[in-house]
Amino acid sequence: MPSLNLDPAGLPILAGLWHLDGATARHDAVAWGYAKGATQRGVELHQLTEVTGVDIEAGRVTGVQTNRGKVSCGCVVQAVSGLSAEVSRMAGFQLPIVAYPLQAMVTQPVKPFLDPHVSSSALHCYVHQTSRGEIVIGGGSDPYPLYGTRSTLELKEGLIASAVEMFPFMSEMRLMRQWAGITDMTSDYSPIMGLSPVENYYLDAGWGTWGFKATPICGVTMAEVVASGGKVPDLIAPFSLDRFDAFRQVNEMGATAASH
């Protein structure tokens, strides 16, 4: 990586982690690919449809209320990312989840110069280049709980400063877009998957800032839970909701090189 500054902010790079088979992907393209494949297999997707309530009878889910009417059902999989704690309250139980904003930004497009995704745990900043030439800059979540998606000047200035420390020539580039989303964080930075206190109401929540890479296996294992009538696969058993009551927290070891 010839353009990388090896002494950023007086913090010389002494060693690094190299993930040979790692890669980046366009998350929006992947999401639309899944959506297209699902509809081809008979799945109905209802956009702009807000969940307003969950119907429970005798401890068992029977339907979901929306702003476009009621959907009766035999089971529900709750996979709503940043709003996980809010939707679970509609079903009558609480999740040990706190929502934090997460921001990122992109520069103007330039000719390719950056093949890998570069992340600094000291600066808490990552940089990679998209197929369109834009430089994506991001880092940690905002340091306060909030259900808000407004971009902030403070975080923009901090991330830009760190990115320029890593790649000094980027100080001459223009920032094009900045955005924010909501992340659902658990106390052990690991997801909650499987059963809930409500019968046939299944959970896939708490992925925080790194759920994208686990999407394929999440789909497979959660489908197994539904198809088996609630039998949880061994692979996701450690991520059960009751681990927080039994003090069986899981150490998240698959995240990027960022300190939690």
Burial pattern 154-177, b for ≥16 Cβ within 10 A else e, equals ebeebbbebbbbbbeebeebebee
Q: Supply the pLDDT for residue 259.
A: 42
* Residue 253: predicted pLDDT: 57
When pLDDT is cut at 50, 70 and 90, the band that residue 255 belongs to is low
Q: For residue 111, give the nearest of 129, 98, 124, 126 by alpha carbon.
A: 129
Query: What pLDDT score was predicted for residue 61?
Result: 98
Is the pLDDT reported for residue 258 higher than 60?
Answer: no
For residues 78-105, give the mean pLDDT: 95
The pTM assigned to this predicted structure is 0.89
- DSSP secondary structure letter of residue 232: P
Task: Tell me the pLDDT tens digit for each residue of 93-129.
Answer: 999 999 999 999 999 999 999 999 999 988 989 999 9
Q: Name the average pLDDT for the chain.
A: 92
- pLDDT(228) > 60: yes
Provide CB contacts within 8 A for 107, sequence distance 6+: 134, 135, 137, 170, 173, 174, 175, 176
Domain limits of the chain? 75-96+187-244, 99-182
Distance CA 136, CA 177 (A): 10
**Across residues 26-41, what is the average pLDDT?**
93
- In this prediction, residues 234-247 reach a mean pLDDT of 95
Dist CA 257 CA 260 (whole Å): 9
- Report the alpha-carbon distance of residue 238 to residue 140 in Å, rounded: 25
Tokens, residue 174: 């223009």
Q: Is the pLDDT of residue 141 over 90?
A: no
User: Is 107 within 8 Å of 182 (Cβ atoms)?
Assistant: no
CA distance 164 to 172: 9
Q: What is the pLDDT of residue 256?
A: 47
Superfamily of domain 99-182 in CATH is: D-Amino Acid Oxidase, subunit A, domain 2 (3.30.9.10)
Position 254 scores a pLDDT of: 52
